[in-house]
Amino acid sequence: MTKRSLRTSTGRGLEPWPVLGLLLLTVVVPTACVLWFMSAAMRNERLAVRQRLTQAYRQHALAAQEALEKHWLDKQRALAKADKLPAARIFAELVTSGVADSVVVYDKAGQLEYPLLEAPLAAEPDEPSSPWLAAGELEYQQRLPGKAAEAYATIPREAKDRNLTARALRAQARCLAQAGRKHEAVVILTGPLASAELRGARGAGGRLIAPDALLLALELAEETDSRQFRALAGKLADRLSDYGDPAMPSGQRRFLMLALREVAPDVPAFPTLAAEHLAAEYLEARPPPARPLQLSRAPGDLWNFPSAGGEVAAIFRTETLLAEMRSAGRLDEPFAGATLALVRPGSPPAEAEAVLAVAAPRQMPGWKLELRLAGEEPFAAAASRRNAIYLWTGIVGIVIIAVLALMVGRFVSRQMRLARLKNDLIATVSHELKTPLASIRVLVDTLLAGRYQDQWQAREYFSLIARENERLTRLIDNFLTFSRMERKKVAFEFGPVKLDEVVAAAVEAMADRLNGPNCKLEVRVAPDLPAITADRDALVTVLLNLLDNAYKYSKDDKRIAVRAYEADANVCLEVADNGIGLSRRAAKNIFDRFYQVDQSLTRSAGGCGLGLSIVKFIVDAHGGSIDVATQPGKGSSFTVRLPVGGAAGAAGSRKD
């Protein structure tokens, strides 16, 4: 009767791994997809930004090119407008209006018109006549300046030519000054010589005599801070700033400008002086002919931009030209992390590689506009904000997937646990109920058929039926407790409990077996054990399960000990046996539901693997603990520790 029949399969066959694997796949695959999309989106974003920026850079460079072109067209218009004026006026007009650093003007035949170092005389003065010779004799041979002055004074009356008249007056003034008669000299220099009539009179090399006479008058003046002196200086300054007729040779103008600033430092600086010097410097270098309306290099770090007809050449210094271009094309303003640089023809390549280059406007052949990145990669900087959005979206997506998977996982695992429990329960119940019922039926049939020898045998059969019945009752009790445990419907009735009573009740309930011939029971309860707050019936269930196991898992010569004692503010209940013991791994799992060390189909010991899980549940509810000391083949010792204070009310007081 004790041999078990075949066990039905349990829910343990319901492996979680395929489901877990599938679940993992549902997380890993979308996560991998999200990551792939994310990285692709980030890469595309970087490319798109690079493309957009390059497009914007091109627009920027083209806008600068257009601005430069407009700048040159303005210059072209200014040159064309000035072209109609006399040569000297063209120079003055273009220089003072800032169109060019300097200007050189040619006539239609390509002959230089301005600046001329000397002005050709319209008509050469007459050969020196006898009065000139006589006066010259007195001045240079006899060194009689007074007499020479008188001799020179007679010439203007006879002279037919205004140039000769002016020359004679200048010679007279010179001799008077030499004779110490400075005042008389000044009167001539600022009087007749400064008259409108002699305004165009020229001396050697085409120099205008009147402005020279004014300078001489200033040099002869004794008081340099008199009103008259200042008026004279002002008059000469006006004359030097006047580029109208009669034209002054540029050499004379530059000389007088410098000399006047020395004699009268208060005179304001001449705005055209630098341009005059530059034009002279330019012409001295003999520049090659340049193409109209095209900027070309000239010797001496200068640049030339001739008008449409080539008559007016605007001259630029390199630094002025570059500054003008920078401001016209707004090249100094950084644009989206990049700057535009104007590159001259033939200049060495810059250190930083250009992102893109466009040709400068057609007026600047060979020049280029290059766009270079300033500092860090602006593409990355511009893309990083978008990328951060992608990144966060990706992370949020992955987190959502993970959370959903976790929820689904928990749900599935709960469902699987339930399914397993159901399977285990059905399998165990059907098996464990079938065996005792079959035994009872056989015994009852035997008794009914009168197949027993005597009264003792009949009695033995009855006691066997009673034992199977007891087993069934305990089994069903365990199922009911387990079912309540699962539905969280277990309620304990806590009250003062004395352990000796619990021990007595449990031993009494199993007296039949424990006092059997092949079993030796030892009960040792310490005297004066404190009462604990607990559910008495529940503790009896605990002890019954432990005793049942000790009995079941011991061989023929069973020695079972029940001890109750106090240790470390706990009352302890110990059930030790000399049974088959447990491996270390099995000892870890025995408190799990439906766990049985021997899962073979022909287990000899009855049971459904619920006893110890019920024991643990009850002990936990009392705030206690349970552990097992065991050795395979030597026996096991289960110790339940319950706090002396108890865990009153831990699970309410309702009993289901």
Asked if 436 touches ligand ADP (CB under 6 A), the answer is no
Identify which of 6, 14, 32 has the alpha carbon closest to the alpha carbon of residue 594.
Answer: 14
Report cis status (omega within 30 of 0) of the bond before 246. yes
Q: Which of 580, 619, 647, 651 binds ligand ADP (CB under 6 A)?
A: 580
In a 3-state reduction of DSSP, which class is residue 5? coil
Q: Which of 206, 609, 624, 646 binds ligand ADP (CB under 6 A)?
A: 609
Amino acid at 523: V
Least spacing, CB of residue 586 vs ligand ADP, in Å: 7
Q: Distance between CA atoms of 656 and 654, rounded to whole angstroms?
A: 6
Binding string, residues 226-245; x marks residues near ligand ADP by CB under 6 A? --------------------
Asked if 519 touches ligand ADP (CB under 6 A), the answer is no
Contact at 8 Å (CB) between 276 and 100? Answer: no
Q: Distance between CA atoms of 350 and 405, rounded to whole angstroms?
A: 57
Beta partners for residue 126, in sequence order: none
Residue 288 CB burial class (10 angstroms; 0-12, 13-18, ≥19): exposed
Segment lying near ligand ADP (by CB under 6 A), choices 110-118, 267-275, 376-384, 605-613 = 605-613
Q: Which of 102, 423, 596, 639 binds ligand ADP (CB under 6 A)?
A: 596
Exposure string of 404-443, with b = 16+ CB inside 10 Å and e = fewer, is ebeeebeebeeebeeebeebbbebbeebbeebbeebbeeb
Asked if 607 touches ligand ADP (CB under 6 A), the answer is yes
Segment lying near ligand ADP (by CB under 6 A), choices 169-177, 332-340, 443-451, 594-602 = 594-602
Beta partners for residue 296, in sequence order: 304
The pairing of strands 625-631 and 354-359 is unpaired
Helix, strand, coil percent values for the chain (each to nearest 5): 55, 15, 30
Contact at 8 Å (CB) between 540 and 505? Answer: yes
In a 3-state reduction of DSSP, which class is residue 354? strand
Q: Which of 577, 617, 639, 642 binds ligand ADP (CB under 6 A)?
A: 577
Segment lying near ligand ADP (by CB under 6 A), choices 7-15, 72-80, 287-295, 596-604 = 596-604
State which residue, 272 or 578, has the beta carbon closest to ligand ADP: 578
HSE of 579, CA atoms in CB hemisphere, 13 A: 24
Segment lying near ligand ADP (by CB under 6 A), choices 120-128, 354-362, 442-450, 593-601 = 593-601
Binding string, residues 610-649; x marks residues near ligand ADP by CB under 6 A? xxxx----------------------x-------------
Contact at 8 Å (CB) between 152 and 168? Answer: yes
Q: Distance between CA atoms of 211 and 190, rounded to whole angstroms?
A: 10
Q: Would you give the end-to-end CA distance of the chain in angstroms?
A: 35
Asked if 608 touches ligand ADP (CB under 6 A), the answer is yes
Identify which of 605, 607, 611, 610 has the alpha carbon closest to the alpha carbon of residue 594.
Answer: 610
State which residue, 161 or 592, has the beta carbon closest to ligand ADP: 592
State which residue, 251 or 611, has the beta carbon closest to ligand ADP: 611
Beta partners for residue 356, in sequence order: 371
Least spacing, CB of residue 613 vs ligand ADP, in Å: 6
Least spacing, CB of residue 481 vs ligand ADP, in Å: 12
State which residue, 415 or 631, has the beta carbon closest to ligand ADP: 631
Residues 536-565 that bind ligand ADP (CB under 6 A): 545, 549-550, 553
Q: How many residues bind ligand ADP (CB under 6 A)?
A: 22
State which residue, 232 or 582, has the beta carbon closest to ligand ADP: 582
Q: Which of 171, 401, 465, 597 binds ligand ADP (CB under 6 A)?
A: 597
Q: Which of 582, 618, 621, 642 binds ligand ADP (CB under 6 A)?
A: 582
Contact at 8 Å (CB) between 238 and 217? Answer: no
By beta carbon distance, the residue nearest ligand ADP is 607
Question: Cα-atom radius of gyration of the chain, to the nearest Å?
Answer: 63
Segment lying near ligand ADP (by CB under 6 A), choices 8-16, 160-168, 273-281, 592-600 = 592-600
Asked if 595 touches ligand ADP (CB under 6 A), the answer is yes
State which residue, 12 or 77, has the beta carbon closest to ligand ADP: 12
Contact at 8 Å (CB) between 232 and 221? Answer: yes
Least spacing, CB of residue 465 vs ligand ADP, in Å: 21
State which residue, 459 or 634, has the beta carbon closest to ligand ADP: 634
Segment lying near ligand ADP (by CB under 6 A), choices 9-17, 177-185, 258-266, 609-617 = 609-617
- Cα dihedral: 180, 181, 183, 184 (round 10): -150
Residues that bind ligand ADP (CB under 6 A): 545, 549-550, 553, 577, 579-582, 590, 595-598, 607-613, 636
